[in-house]
Amino acid sequence: MILSYQKRILLTAVIMLTALLLVMAALWLPPIKRDVKIMDALFVLDITDSMNVEDVSLNGDKVSRLEWAKEFTRRAFLDMPCGAHAGLAIFSEARSLILMNPVEVCASYNDLTRMLDEFDPHMAWARSSEVSKAVYTAIRQAKEIEPEPTIVFLTDGHESPPIHESLFPRFDGKPGDIQGVLVGIGGEDLLPIPKTNEAGEIEGVWDVNDVMHQDVYASLRADTTTNVPTKRTEHLSSQKKAHLKTLADRVGFEFLSSPRSPGKLVDAVRDVSVTRPQTIDYDLYLWLAGIALGLILLVYLPYGFFIRTDD
Amino acid sequence: MNFLGLEWFHPLFLFLLPVAVLPWLNHNLDKTVAWVELVPVDPWSRFISIGLKLLSSLAIATLILALAGPSVPEQTIERVGEGAEIVLLLDRSRSMDDPFAVKHQAAAVSVGGDNSKRRVARDYLTEFIKNRPDDRFGFVFFSTKSVNLLPLTYDKEAILATINANALGKGLSDTNMADALLSSAQMFEGQAYRGSRIVLLVSDGGQLLSDEAKEEITRLYKEMNLGIYWIYLKSNQAMTLEESDEDSMLWVDIPERKLHNFFKSIGVPYRAFEAGSLEAFAEALAEIDRQHYQTLIVEETLPHEPKTDVLLWLTLLAMLLLAASHLYTFWGVKKAHE
Write out pLDDT tens, residues A128-175.
888 889 999 999 999 989 889 999 999 998 888 888 777 788 888 888
How close B28 gets to chain A, by Cα (Å)? Answer: 7
Please name the helix (run of DSSP H) or strand (run of DSSP E) that holds residue A96, with its range, or none.
Answer: strand A95-104
Residues B24, B154 within the same domain = no
Contacts of residue B280, defined as CB under 8 A and 6 or more positions apart, other chains included, come to B273, B274
Question: ipTM score of the complex?
Answer: 0.78
How close B247 gets to chain A, by Cα (Å)? Answer: 37
For the cut 90, the answer to whether the pLDDT of residue B42 exceeds it is: no
Residues B141, B33 within the same domain = no
pLDDT score, position A124: 82
The domain tally of chain B equals 2
For the cut 90, the answer to whether the pLDDT of residue B107 exceeds it is: no
Distances (CA, A) of A279 to A31, A173, A276, B132, B235: 12, 34, 10, 30, 49
Do A141 and B173 count as a contact with CB atoms less than 8 A apart?
no
How close A232 gets to chain B, by Cα (Å)? Answer: 31
Q: Which region among A6-10, A95-99, A300-304, B121-125 has the lowest average model confidence (pLDDT)?
A: A300-304
Between B143, B164, B337, which is nearest A6 by CB?
Answer: B337
Segment B53-57 shows an average pLDDT of: 92
CATH code for the domain of B289: 3.40.50.410
Segment A115-121 shows an average pLDDT of: 89
Closest chain A residue to the Cα of B163, Cα to Cα: A100
Residues B234, B123 within the same domain = yes
Find residues 60-99 of chain A whose CB sits inside 8 Å of chain B.
Answer: 87, 89, 95-99
Residues B130, B29 within the same domain = no
> Is some CB atom of chain B closer than 8 A to the CB atom of A219?
no
A217-265 residue pLDDT tens: 777 776 666 566 667 788 888 888 889 999 999 899 999 998 888 888 8
Radius of gyration, alpha carbons of chain B: 34
Closest chain B residue to the Cα of A119, Cα to Cα: B149
Question: How many A×B Cβ pairs under 8 Å?
Answer: 176
Do A300 and B26 count as a contact with CB atoms less than 8 A apart?
yes
Exposure pattern of B262-281 as b/e (b: 16+ CB <10 Å)? bbeebebebbbbbbbeeebb
- Cα(A98)–Cα(A42) distance, integer angstroms: 8
% of chain A residues with pLDDT over 90: 32
Contacts of residue B304, defined as CB under 8 A and 6 or more positions apart, other chains included, come to B7, B71, B72, B73, B74
Q: How far from each other are the two terminal CA atoms of chain A, in whole angstroms?
A: 14
Exposure pattern of A79-107 as b/e (b: 16+ CB <10 Å)? bbeebbbbbbbbbbbbbbbbbbbbbbbee
Do A285 and B308 count as a contact with CB atoms less than 8 A apart?
yes
Query: What is the number of other CB atoms lying within 10 angstroms of the CB of residue A307?
Result: 9
> Is some CB atom of chain B closer than 8 A to the CB atom of A306?
no
> Is some CB atom of chain B closer than 8 A to the CB atom of A290?
yes
User: Mutating which of A47, A82, A101 best tests the B interface, going by the most B Cβ atoms within 10 A?
Assistant: A101
- Cα(A91)–Cα(B289) distance, integer angstroms: 36
- Cα(B32)–Cα(A126) distance, integer angstroms: 87
Residues B197, B50 within the same domain = no
pLDDT score, position A225: 64
Q: What type of residue is A109?
A: Y
B contacts of A284 (beta carbons < 8 Å): none
> Is some CB atom of chain B closer than 8 A to the CB atom of A291?
no
Residues B57, B169 within the same domain = no
> Is some CB atom of chain B closer than 8 A to the CB atom of A301?
yes
Between B150, B316, B323, which is nearest A115 by CB?
Answer: B150
Collapsing DSSP to helix, strand or coil, A197 comes out as coil
Residues B205, B236 within the same domain = yes
Residues B41, B106 within the same domain = no
B278-334 residue pLDDT tens: 788 888 888 888 777 777 777 776 777 888 889 999 999 999 999 999 999 889 888
Contact B150, A119 (CB under 8 A): no
pLDDT band at A112 (very low <50, low <70, confident <90, very high): very high
| Residue ranges making up the domain that contains B11 | 2-74+304-337
Residues B90, B218 within the same domain = yes
Residues B113, B259 within the same domain = yes
Segment A272-295 shows an average pLDDT of: 87
Do B330 and A9 count as a contact with CB atoms less than 8 A apart?
yes
Model's pTM, two decimal places?
A: 0.78
For the cut 90, the answer to whether the pLDDT of residue A18 exceeds it is: yes
Between B19, B158, B326, which is nearest A297 by CB?
Answer: B19
- Cα(B313)–Cα(B59) distance, integer angstroms: 10
Residues B30, B141 within the same domain = no
A contacts of B172 (beta carbons < 8 Å): 97, 125
Segment B109-116 shows an average pLDDT of: 66
Contacts of residue B3, defined as CB under 8 A and 6 or more positions apart, other chains included, come to B11, B14
B64-101 residue pLDDT tens: 999 998 888 877 778 787 888 899 998 888 888 888 86
Residues B287, B324 within the same domain = no
A contacts of B74 (beta carbons < 8 Å): none
How close A44 gets to chain B, by Cα (Å)? Answer: 13
Nearest to A293 by CA among B10, B175, B51: B10
How close A292 gets to chain B, by Cα (Å)? Answer: 8
Between B165, B312, B330, which is nearest A10 by CB?
Answer: B330
A contacts of B145 (beta carbons < 8 Å): 122-123, 199-200
